[in-house]
Amino acid sequence: MRPSLLIAACLTALSPVAISVGKAATTSGTAQTLSPDQQKFRDLYKMLVETNTEFSSGSCTLAAKRVSDRLRSAGYPAKDIRLFSVPEHPKEGGIVVTLPGSDPSARPVLLLAHLDVVEAKREDWVRDPFTLIEENDYFYGRGASDDKSHVAIFTDTMIRLKEAGKTFPRTLKMALTCGEEAGGPFNGARWLAEQHKDWIDAAFALNEGSVGLRDANGKPISLGFQDGEKVYQDFQIEATNPGGHSSRPRPDNAIYSLAEGLVKLSHYDFPVEFNDATRAFFTGTAKLHGGEEGDAMLRLVKNPNDKKANAIVSKDPTFHSMLRTTCVATRLYGGHANNALAQRAAANVNCRMFPGDSIESVRQQLEAAVADPSLKVTPVGEISPTPPPPPMTPEVYGTAKSVAEKHFPGVPMLPAMSTGATDGRYLTAAGIPTYGVPGRFSDPDGNGVHGLNERKSVSGLYAERDYLYDLIQQYLSIK
């Protein structure tokens, strides 16, 4: 998942969910008990983390093949497993697996996760990023959280259901793809949605994207259920000029024009917007927070134009982002020689657009923000789809909530919109509503996702696995 957490600013020290597990050695010298099926799951998770799937030096195709081998060993016939790649990108392959249901009229459920990971330089890490290391209730390794935890849980679920001989009315599908993190030329989820939708077509899909809240004492406050996500889009703001000799400066300098425009942009705030998910999130979070901030949230939900309430709530960077489209300069380019006036200066501006905002509307607002007709604003890179959030149906959200009450008693579930972007946008745009499943809790720093020493709570991972296994079975039982 591209860097962002739904609620990172509210997350505090992680208090692991208590579960019963068996003995497995850890580097800290402690021991924990693992049941046989948990040990199989741990072995699967270890294999995935230790399979390098970086864009530069790894292979998603190899990871998909290793997953396929596990599935074949569990009894899946070749006809129910599709390993795919394209000739131009042989290392960026993936896999689609099917567990047939008994009712042809019942639409399938799809599990979506990405195999690829963000680059990790060994010299910067305390531990080898591609060796699963367990210390003090944490698993360390690149992808330990994003997103090989879901790859492992979903694959493990497919295996357990097959080995148990369980049959449900609905068919269960799983798509493990590449390209979500790498930003490379091939994105497996988009390719499936556009070229082979029949392989993955489903009533809805379950994906990454949700994060749970804990208070300062580590007590769980709420579970997140991700409904919709902001849309990733880069824009270029460019200044051009005839240039000339640096000994003869002129006032219409391309670098200065760009700089002035970016300063203006830094002071610009896009208007507050709400959808069903964010309205429910801020209403529920207001009750949990209380005080001035909680009151401001309720006032802002009632009146998005309340400037005082907006100022209070927007002090939190994540809340600020969840309330609106945001755009920020991330890279600069300019000039061609040290002794010449710049003929061209440009900046990359990375936008996370509120679902439903059009690229053209955001482009026009950027033009208005920089307030300089000589600056050209252009969308660049991959043009993302901008689907609205999928509906919060009782079938999807209500079922997740009722199952969560058994696994996480007393912890309320709140709908929320991801301020980042996942591959779910491609599926939702293709008519497969995609949701970020709950069950995960994170530390304040996001557990090192996309950064150094990425980690995942050991007990939290097993608890999430148990919850999602039960939730998926409930979904498959609904006709």
Q: Are residues 85 and 159 in the same domain?
A: yes
pLDDT of residue 216: 60
**pLDDT-derived band of residue 401, with 50, 70 and 90 as boundaries?**
very high
Q: Where does a domain end: 380, 400, 416? A: 380
Is 470 contained in some domain? yes
Q: Average of pLDDT values for 251-275? A: 97
Question: How many angstroms separate the CA atoms of 117 and 100, rounded?
Answer: 30
Q: Are residues 90 and 171 in the same domain?
A: yes
The answer to whether the beta carbons of residues 448 and 472 sit under 8 Å apart is no
Q: Are residues 392 and 368 in the same domain?
A: no
Q: Average of pLDDT values for 143-147? A: 95
Question: How many angstroms separate the CA atoms of 146 and 126, rounded?
Answer: 18
* Six-digit token string for 65: 């093949």
Q: Average of pLDDT values for 147-161? A: 98
Sheet holding 455-457, edge to edge: 133-135, 138-140, 455-457
The answer to whether the beta carbons of residues 424 and 175 sit under 8 Å apart is no
Q: Where does a domain end: 321, 356, 380? A: 380
Query: Over the Cα atoms of the chain, what is R_g?
Result: 24
Q: Average of pLDDT values for 31-44? A: 90
Q: Where does a domain end: 337, 361, 380? A: 380
Which residues have a Cβ under 8 Å from the Cβ of 349 and sit 6 or more positions away?
234, 235, 236, 237, 265, 327, 328, 329, 330, 366
Q: Are residues 78 and 147 in the same domain?
A: yes
CATH number at residue 93: 3.40.630.10
What average pLDDT does the chain have? 90
Question: How many angstroms separate the CA atoms of 453 and 456, rounded?
Answer: 10
- pTM equals 0.86
pLDDT of residue 16: 35
Q: Which residues are registered as beta bridge partners of 226?
A: 416, 436
Q: Are residues 208 and 257 in the same domain?
A: no
Q: Are residues 260 and 394 in the same domain?
A: no
Q: Are residues 350 and 463 in the same domain?
A: no
pLDDT of residue 393: 93
Q: Average of pLDDT values for 362-371? A: 98
Q: Are residues 205 and 275 in the same domain?
A: no
Is 2 contained in some domain? no
Is 156 contained in some domain? yes
Q: Are residues 158 and 144 in the same domain?
A: yes
For 130-163, letters b (16+ CB in 10 Å) and e give bebbbeebbbbbbbbbbbbbbbbbbbbbbbbbbe
pLDDT tens digits, residue range 47-77?
A: 999 999 999 999 999 999 999 999 999 999 9
Is 302 contained in some domain? yes
pLDDT tens digits, residue range 309-325?
A: 999 999 998 899 999 99
Q: Are residues 55 and 203 in the same domain?
A: yes
- What is the phi-psi region of residue 447: left when phi exceeds 0, alpha when psi lies from -120 to 50, beta otherwise? left
* Domains identified in the chain, total number: 2
- Specify burial of residue 88 (Cβ count, 10 A radius: 0-12, 13-18, 19+): exposed
CATH number at residue 360: 3.30.70.360
Domain region containing 292 = 231-380
Q: Are residues 81 and 169 in the same domain?
A: yes
pLDDT of residue 445: 74
The Cβ-side half-sphere exposure at 311, using a 13 Å CA radius, reads 3
Is 1 contained in some domain? no
The answer to whether the beta carbons of residues 204 and 432 sit under 8 Å apart is yes
**pLDDT-derived band of residue 3, with 50, 70 and 90 as boundaries?**
very low
Q: Are residues 183 and 45 in the same domain?
A: yes
